[in-house]
Amino acid sequence: MRQNSKNQEMPDRLKKIVGTATVLNLLYFGREILIPITLAIILSCLVIPLVRGLRRTGLGHIASVGVSVLVLTLGLSAIGVVIGSQIIRTAASLPQYEDTIRGKLRTLDQFTLGKLYAVAGQADRVINQMSNGADVHSPGAALEHPNSSREVAAPVLVEMQEPTPKAIQVLTRIIAPVWIPVETTGIVFVVLVFVLLEHESLRDRFIRLVGQSNLRATTVAVNDAGARLSRFFVSQFSVNFVVGASIWICLAIAGVPHAMLWGGVAALLRFVPYVGVWIAAFGATLLAAAISPGWTLAVLTLLLFVVVEILISQVVEPRLYGHATGLSPLSVVISAIFWGWIWGPVGLVLSTPLTLCLVVAGRHIEALHFLDVLLGEVPALTMPENIYQRALSGDAQEMIAGARRYLKRKSFSAYCDAVLIPALHLAHTDFTEDTITKAEQLRVNSAITSMLVSLEDRRKWWQKNYNISVLEDVTAARHLRARREKLFGQWQGPLDVPAGSVVLAMGLGSPADELAAELLVRVLRAEEIDSRHLSLDELENPPPAEISPELVSLVCIVSLWPLKEHDKLEAANADILHRLPQVKVMALCLFNPFEKSGQAGPAIPWADQTTHSYEETLQSCARALQKPLKQSGR
């Protein structure tokens, strides 16, 4: 049976490999057909908002398409004419900067290649001196002696003359280089017109073809892809226009000639992810260095590009469309490399929208979900899964860094509720099923302990975080409590405190319950609520004379599995009331979020109050002690 399943897996894998190879071959060998069609479809996403806007004014569909395509054509033609004229003027003005360029090249040569050649010349002289004797006596030296009597025939020069080209040949040579771009542009605009005319019909046909079995999901996917592409292209076009205009104005003020050219080049090349704008910066800096005797203008030009790009990429773009593409930065780079390899420069420009389409398809089509995981910005693991995976690997430093990022936005109680407790449930599941080894258990305990100690100490970024190794016979909760007892004494704090100001946290005995109780102590102490951690065993023993029962006003029993430990909870409540009859008992029931039983269970009947999260428990304790919380919004 197992052999049959393996035999079945091999053809499936072979089919996937053959299918992938076929698609890659179609993309590569069919690029001359696919590139114009893809460009037309992408341009339609840019033009379709204008078409819809014209239709809302009462203009007909055909007229709206015609006006939109005309506006696009005139705009692109104007840009092409302006950039082309600027390039011609720049090329014509270069001879007047010839002396400056030669001087700069000599300076660069002295500081770069000149130094290298000097070192190489010294090395050559040393080598020649060492090998001079051997070369003189070598047998082959006589063959190249200048006094050799061997006669060498003088070469015969033959002059070749080409016939005068005819007019048709001259015309062909002029047209040939520009024919392919003109042909591609014509195909793009023809396809664009028909795509815009039949936009709704094409969408319906695609939905019928792909998603007939699930009409709703396919409609959502198509609408999502169209909306994301349109929003992304309109936003990117606007941002690039602002970048180009800013660079044009600033370069003109700085005195760089042909500033409009570099502004337009920067705006266009910025469609190439990450590297495009720096290509424009390199060209503008070279021109500034060529026209100015000093280096000040070149440095100012480069600094201008750096400042504008940082402001746009770090301030404007996140606010304007932020993560609207849904792509991770690494996937953008990889997609640019892939599509650039498949389709050349056009692929570089189209890499982001094409990858965006794949990510949207993976988000809505189950068979392509791996594309959303690989290329999308959504984390592959949830935060609890991420913490547990880091703990299994013993990577406490990464756990600490992730916790600090979270705590910049939210409280420690929210972090415990959303991350740590679900991670503890994941760990407990593996513990009970014996799917991890003792060494891994110790690694998890050590990593969690190191993280909690480092967070409590609030160490600065330049200070080394703790790396604690928990022994096999000591749980993480006991280790953390022992550290607090070492700092504050056996009873984890002073005993001369006001009556009713202490909150006791107790777990039900399992290592996970004890750790959850220790987390509650840290949550309460973070809000300056005096909390101490005791175990049930300590209540069963004779009470310590140092602790006055009047100090405690609230006891919180913590359980991660209240449904399974109901009897144990009730017995613990009886013991607490026997020892401390004046206190109120709160039951913190932390249900497993990965189970179908629900997030919140019924209230514990014998408890004065039942809570289901650290945040709720913190608020209840603050109300019981009449103590305001430090953090706002509660």
Mind listing the pLDDT tens digit for each residue in 422-433? 888 888 888 777
Q: In terms of domains, do 394 and 297 share one?
A: no
- Type of residue at 114: G
CB 500 within 8 A of CB 550: yes
CB neighbour class for 285 (10 Å; exposed up to 12, middle 13-18, buried from 19)? buried
Percentage, residues of the chain above pLDDT 70:
73
Sign, CA dihedral 426-432-437-440, equals positive
CB 520 within 8 A of CB 588: yes
pLDDT at 601: 61
Domain boundary among 28, 52, 84: 84
For the domain that residue 569 is a member of, what is the CATH number? 3.40.50.280
Average pLDDT over residues 362-383: 72
Q: Phi first, then psi: what are they for 126, rounded to 5°?
A: -65, -45
Residue 457 lies in a domain: yes
Residue 37 lies in a domain: yes
CB neighbour class for 523 (10 Å; exposed up to 12, middle 13-18, buried from 19)? buried
Q: In terms of domains, do 303 and 407 share one?
A: no
pLDDT band at 465 (very low <50, low <70, confident <90, very high): low
**Rounded distance, CA 237 to CA 353, Å?**
13
- Pick the more confident residue, 602 or 303: 303
Comparing 254-268, 294-308, 375-389, 422-436, which segment has the lowest mean pLDDT? 375-389
Q: In terms of domains, do 305 and 435 share one?
A: no
Average pLDDT over residues 99-115: 64
Average pLDDT over residues 316-343: 73
Comparing 52-66, 188-202, 454-468, 555-569, which segment has the lowest mean pLDDT? 454-468
- Enumerate residues 6+ apart whose C-beta is below 8 A from 189: 40, 69, 73
pLDDT band at 124 (very low <50, low <70, confident <90, very high): low
Q: Is the pLDDT of residue 10 over 60?
A: no
Q: Which H/E stretch holds residue 192? A: helix 167-197
pLDDT at 485: 84
- Enumerate residues 6+ apart whose C-beta is below 8 A from 297: 254, 255, 256, 288, 289, 291
Comparing 285-294, 394-403, 578-587, which segment has the lowest mean pLDDT? 285-294
pLDDT band at 147 (very low <50, low <70, confident <90, very high): very low
**Neighbour count for residue 472 (Cβ, 10 Å):** 10
Q: In terms of domains, do 415 and 278 share one?
A: no
Q: Is the pLDDT of residue 148 over 50?
A: no
Domain boundary among 54, 84, 114: 84
pLDDT digits (tens, 9 = 90+) for 391-400: 888 888 888 8
Average pLDDT over residues 578-597: 80
Residue 392 lies in a domain: yes
pLDDT band at 113 (very low <50, low <70, confident <90, very high): low
CB 35 within 8 A of CB 346: yes
Integer angstrom CA distances of residue 385 from 187, 265, 421, 485, 500: 50, 46, 11, 32, 39
pLDDT band at 145 (very low <50, low <70, confident <90, very high): very low
- Joined together, the tokens standing for residue 38 give 């893809």
Average pLDDT over residues 57-79: 87
Comparing 377-391, 512-526, 530-544, which segment has the lowest mean pLDDT? 530-544
CB 469 within 8 A of CB 446: yes
Number of domains in the chain: 3
DSSP string, 432-463: HTT-S-HHHHHHHHHHHHHHHHHHHHT--TTS
pLDDT at 633: 41
pTM (2 decimals)?
0.58
Q: Is the pLDDT of residue 405 over 70?
A: yes
Average pLDDT over residues 20-27: 82
Percentage, residues of the chain above pLDDT 90:
0
**Rounded distance, CA 492 to CA 260, Å?**
71
**Neighbour count for residue 624 (Cβ, 10 Å):** 17
**Rounded distance, CA 453 to CA 439, Å?**
21
Nearest Cα residue to 306 out of 281, 331, 285, 288: 281
Residue 221 lies in a domain: no
DSSP string, 198-242: THHHHHHHHHHHH-SS-HHHHHHHHHHHHHHHHHHHHHHHHHHHH
Average pLDDT over residues 554-579: 81
Q: Is the pLDDT of residue 158 over 50?
A: yes
| Domain with 302 in it | 242-324
**Rounded distance, CA 404 to CA 407, Å?**
5
- Enumerate residues 6+ apart whose C-beta is below 8 A from 278: 305
Compute the residue count for the chain: 634
Query: SS3 of 293, please?
Result: coil
Read off the DSSP letter of residue 48: H
Residue 487 lies in a domain: yes
Q: In terms of domains, do 311 and 398 share one?
A: no
CB 258 within 8 A of CB 242: no
Average pLDDT over residues 221-233: 71
pLDDT at 469: 57
- Joined together, the tokens standing for residue 389 give 């995976």
Residue 435 lies in a domain: yes
- Type of residue at 16: K
pLDDT digits (tens, 9 = 90+) for 266-287: 888 887 777 788 888 888 888 8
Q: Is the pLDDT of residue 511 over 50?
A: yes
- Pick the more confident residue, 348 or 218: 348
**Rounded distance, CA 456 to CA 451, Å?**
9
pLDDT band at 468 (very low <50, low <70, confident <90, very high): low
Give the CA-trace dihedral at 337, 282, 303, 85, to 10 degrees. Answer: -110
pLDDT digits (tens, 9 = 90+) for 248-259: 998 888 888 888
Q: In terms of domains, do 495 and 601 share one?
A: yes
Q: In terms of domains, do 307 and 417 share one?
A: no
Helix axes 31-56, 167-197, angle to 10 degrees: 50
Cα angle: 136, vertex 140, 145; to 5 degrees: 70
- Joined together, the tokens standing for residue 98 give 């010839």
- Joined together, the tokens standing for residue 103 give 């001087």
pLDDT at 97: 67
Q: Phi first, then psi: what are they for 376, rounded to 5°?
A: -75, 165
Q: Is the pLDDT of residue 5 over 80?
A: no
Q: In terms of domains, do 437 and 539 share one?
A: yes
Residue 592 lies in a domain: yes
CB 31 within 8 A of CB 187: no
Arithmetic mean of pLDDT over the chain: 76
- The 531-533 sheet, strands edge to edge: 531-533, 502-507, 552-559, 584-589, 609-611
pLDDT band at 634 (very low <50, low <70, confident <90, very high): very low
Domain boundary among 36, 58, 84: 84
Q: In terms of domains, do 317 and 393 share one?
A: no
Average pLDDT over residues 567-579: 80
Strand locations in 508-618, DSSP E? 531-533, 552-559, 584-589, 609-611
Average pLDDT over residues 497-506: 85
pLDDT band at 136 (very low <50, low <70, confident <90, very high): very low
CB 27 within 8 A of CB 19: no
Q: Is the pLDDT of residue 517 over 80?
A: yes
Residue 265 lies in a domain: yes
Range from 261-270, 463-472, 558-567 that averages highest in pLDDT: 261-270
